[in-house]
């Protein structure tokens, strides 16, 4: 938040000039940045959630346990213990073009920081020149001067802008905040990429499982259609039974192309995420049965989430940047002080160039103070204040969105665990009912309509169970990404000599295992 537009410390007594310079050097222009406090809540949902989730049979039916106050480990996706998933994520982190662009923006921002650090140092330049010139034969004083002469010059010049009011520091802080923002944006992009790869891979595995289930159902219904046609030819059933069976078979066949299309789109999305053209990429097949559902799930404290999640940190750095911009706007109301100096040699002949009499030097100071700018400076300050207000609102909305994602993920894990158990029971019951119905139909105990009804219920239960299995994996991925589980952070840039603050350090994520 913004407070204290200008801050001045006391100055010692002394001569007027000394007092003035000391007072100026003791003044710091611009608002003091205050980092946002911890969120005013101690949990994510309106009521405490369970610590253990409902379990059932099957790989996706493991009982999961929440560990509150524990942050996700760095490579959290390895908790699924799937080599194909690890391979996909590694390829995406290496080859994704969006990440490459974000890395370039980070390096660009770090280069700006290194360049802006030079504002704290004097600028020293060397010059060397030779001039052949014709001048008037007589000067204004009537003295004689050679008509054509040569002038040889060389020396050093120094220019320095002392940071009297702290404006240089504000410019540097602005660039530094932008570099930190670029770093956190890269981390957020990495997190989003990993979540997208894991989600798409699980969805593709779910589509493959649904396709296999649908094909098995089609094969069984084709077999039943042949049996029904045989019974019709022998007069055991009516033609209506044949038509009903054909209709049921056609309905399930119609569902297959849509699943194949979804699988193709998921494959193409994975190819794009790992930086390949769809035609170049050979899909890495991931089966739901090869995934291990993580049983221990970390749940960071709300205060830790607000401090560690990359997109929240990025929004914080945008506030820091906007705060520095307000200070820069304030600095425009104050004078700019420049100190210059030069020393060198000037001579009309090369032979006298290094003589002591040819030495020239100069030392000066310049002060440029704003008097009237037609309201431009005040308007620029209002612009900077609105920039800060917008950054503050963006930060608050980012925090709210993050808490919403975590809360939604926690509830989804709870409810979808119960849904999988219910779908598993429904699938087991429908499978047994279909077995009994087939036997009864072959024995002539039930008609074809009863069998078709049982088949339809079984088909729906089988597909619903596969979807419920995949959803538990998807919910787990969503929780990890919502908590800000991050891969390895980008390397910090090098500190500028004499200014350690130019180093863009990267916070090391906690390595607590879930």
Q: Are strands 65-68 and 296-299 parallel, antiparallel or unpaired?
A: parallel
Is residue 168 assigned to a domain?
no
Distance between CA 167 and CA 408 in Å, rounded? 45
pLDDT in the model for residue 223? 84
Which CATH number covers residue 296? 1.20.1600.10
Distance between CA 298 and CA 359 in Å, rounded? 73
Share of residues in the chain with pLDDT > 90 (%): 59
Nearest to 90 by CA among 5, 189, 190, 169: 190
pLDDT in the model for residue 227? 83
For helices 448-482 and 167-233, the axis angle rounded to 10 degrees is: 170
- How would you class 265 by CB atoms within 10 Å of its CB: exposed for 0-12, middle for 13-18, buried for 19 or more? middle
pLDDT at 141 over 70: no
User: CB under 8 Å to 482, separation ≥6 — which residues?
Assistant: 402, 405, 406, 408, 409
Is residue 345 assigned to a domain?
yes
Is residue 506 assigned to a domain?
no
Shared domain for 116 and 209, answered yes or no, is: yes
Nearest to 216 by CA among 449, 434, 429, 419: 434
Contact in structure between 116 and 168 (CB atoms under 8 Å): no
Shared domain for 80 and 196, answered yes or no, is: yes
Share the mean pLDDT of the chain.
85
Distance between CA 462 and CA 453 in Å, rounded? 14
Contact in structure between 29 and 330 (CB atoms under 8 Å): yes
Shared domain for 205 and 294, answered yes or no, is: yes
Identify the weakest region by mean pLDDT among 167-176, 233-242, 292-301, 381-390: 233-242
pLDDT at 6 over 70: no
pLDDT in the model for residue 5? 42
pLDDT at 480 over 90: yes
Shared domain for 402 and 276, answered yes or no, is: yes
pLDDT in the model for residue 398? 96
Shared domain for 114 and 187, answered yes or no, is: yes
Identify the weakest region by mean pLDDT among 24-38, 257-271, 297-311, 325-339: 24-38
Shared domain for 153 and 249, answered yes or no, is: no
**φ, ψ for residue 61, nearest 5 deg:** -100, 10
Shared domain for 302 and 154, answered yes or no, is: no
Is residue 324 assigned to a domain?
no
**Domain span at residue 420?**
76-120+177-316+390-490
Contact in structure between 18 and 3 (CB atoms under 8 Å): no
Shared domain for 224 and 243, answered yes or no, is: yes
pLDDT in the model for residue 21? 46
Helix or strand holding residue 475 (H, E): helix 448-482
Shared domain for 240 and 306, answered yes or no, is: yes
Shared domain for 353 and 228, answered yes or no, is: no
Average pLDDT (38-45) is: 90
Distance between CA 218 and CA 245 in Å, rounded? 11
pLDDT at 329 over 90: yes
Average pLDDT (288-309) is: 92
Residue range 391-439, pLDDT digits in tens: 999 999 999 999 999 999 999 999 999 999 999 999 999 999 999 998 9
Q: Which residues pair with 339 in a beta bridge?
A: 160, 365
**Long-range contacts for 10-17 (Cβ within 8 Å, ≥24 apart)?**
none
Which CATH number covers residue 347? 2.20.200.10
Is residue 412 assigned to a domain?
yes
pLDDT at 137 over 80: no
Helices vs strands, H then E, count in the chain: 9, 8
Shared domain for 472 and 416, answered yes or no, is: yes
Q: Are strands 27-29 and 65-68 parallel, antiparallel or unpaired?
A: unpaired
73: which DSSP letter? P
Distance between CA 76 and CA 486 in Å, rounded? 8
Is residue 270 assigned to a domain?
yes
Shared domain for 110 and 134, answered yes or no, is: no
Residue range 230-246, pLDDT digits in tens: 888 888 778 888 898 89
Distance between CA 85 and CA 89 in Å, rounded? 6
For residue 409, give both structure tokens. 């993920």
Contact in structure between 166 and 331 (CB atoms under 8 Å): yes
pLDDT in the model for residue 143? 56
Is residue 510 assigned to a domain?
no
Contact in structure between 504 and 180 (CB atoms under 8 Å): yes
**Number of folded domains in the chain?**
3
Is residue 504 assigned to a domain?
no
Q: What share of the chain is helix, strand, coil (3-state, %, to 5)?
A: 60, 15, 30
301: which DSSP letter? -
Q: What is the largest CA-CA distance in the chain?
A: 139
Helix (H, G, I), strand (E, B) or coil at 340: strand
**φ, ψ for residue 82, nearest 5 deg:** -125, 115
pLDDT at 197 over 80: yes
Identify the weakest region by mean pLDDT among 28-32, 47-51, 124-128, 341-345: 28-32
């Amino acid at each position: 938040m913004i407070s204290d537009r200008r801050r001045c410390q006391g100055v010692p007594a002394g001569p007027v000039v000394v007092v003035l310079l000391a007072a100026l050097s003791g003044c710091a222009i611009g608002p003091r940045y205050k980092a946002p406090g911890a969120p005013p809540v101690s949990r994510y949902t309106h009521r405490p959630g369970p610590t253990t989730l409902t379990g059932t049979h099957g790989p996706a039916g493991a009982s999961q346990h929440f560990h509150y106050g524990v942050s996700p480990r760095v490579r959290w996706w390895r908790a699924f213990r799937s080599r194909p998933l690890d391979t996909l994520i590694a390829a995406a982190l290496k080859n994704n073009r969006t990440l490459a662009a974000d890395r370039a923006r980070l390096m660009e921002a770090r280069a700006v920081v290194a360049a802006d650090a030079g504002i704290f140092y004097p600028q020293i330049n060397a010059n060397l020149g030779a001039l052949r010139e014709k001048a008037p034969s007589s000067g204004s004083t009537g003295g004689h001067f050679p008509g054509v002469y040569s002038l040889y010059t060389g020396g050093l010049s120094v220019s320095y802008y002392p940071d009297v009011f702290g404006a240089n520091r504000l410019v540097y802080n602005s660039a530094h905040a932008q570099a930190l923002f670029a770093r956190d944006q890269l981390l957020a992009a990495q997190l989003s990429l990993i979540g997208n790869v894991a989600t798409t891979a699980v969805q593709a595995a779910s589509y493959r499982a649904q396709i296999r289930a649908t094909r098995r159902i089609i094969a069984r219904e084709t077999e039943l259609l042949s049996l029904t046609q045989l019974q019709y030819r022998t007069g055991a059933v009516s033609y209506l039974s044949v038509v009903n069976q054909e209709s049921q078979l056609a309905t399930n066949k119609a569902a297959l192309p849509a699943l194949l299309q979804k699988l193709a789109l998921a494959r193409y999305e994975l190819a794009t995420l790992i930086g390949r053209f769809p035609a170049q990429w050979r899909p890495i097949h991931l089966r739901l049965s090869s995934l291990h559902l993580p049983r221990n799930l970390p749940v960071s404290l709300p205060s830790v989430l607000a401090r560690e999640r990359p997109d929240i940190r990025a929004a914080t750095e945008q506030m820091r940047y906007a705060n520095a911009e307000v200070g820069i706007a304030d600095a425009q109301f104050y004078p700019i002080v420049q100190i210059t100096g030069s020393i060198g040699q000037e001579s009309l002949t090369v032979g006298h160039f290094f003589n002591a009499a040819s030495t020239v030097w100069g030392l000066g100071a310049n002060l440029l103070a704003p008097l009237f700018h037609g309201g431009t400076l005040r308007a620029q300050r209002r612009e900077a204040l609105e920039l800060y207000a917008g950054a503050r609102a963006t930060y608050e909305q980012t925090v709210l969105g993050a808490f919403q994602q975590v809360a939604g993920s926690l509830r989804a894990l709870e409810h979808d665990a119960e849904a999988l158990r219910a779908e598993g029971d429904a699938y087991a019951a429908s499978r047994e009912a279909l077995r009994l119905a087939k036997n009864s139909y072959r024995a002539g105990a039930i008609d074809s309509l009863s069998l078709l009804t049982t088949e339809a219920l079984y088909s729906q239960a089988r597909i619903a169970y596969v979807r419920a299995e995949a959803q538990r994996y998807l919910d787990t991925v969503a929780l990890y990404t919502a908590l800000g589980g991050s891969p390895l952070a980008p390397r910090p840039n090098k500190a500028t000599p004499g200014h350690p603050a130019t180093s863009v350090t990267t916070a090391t994520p906690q390595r607590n295992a879930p």
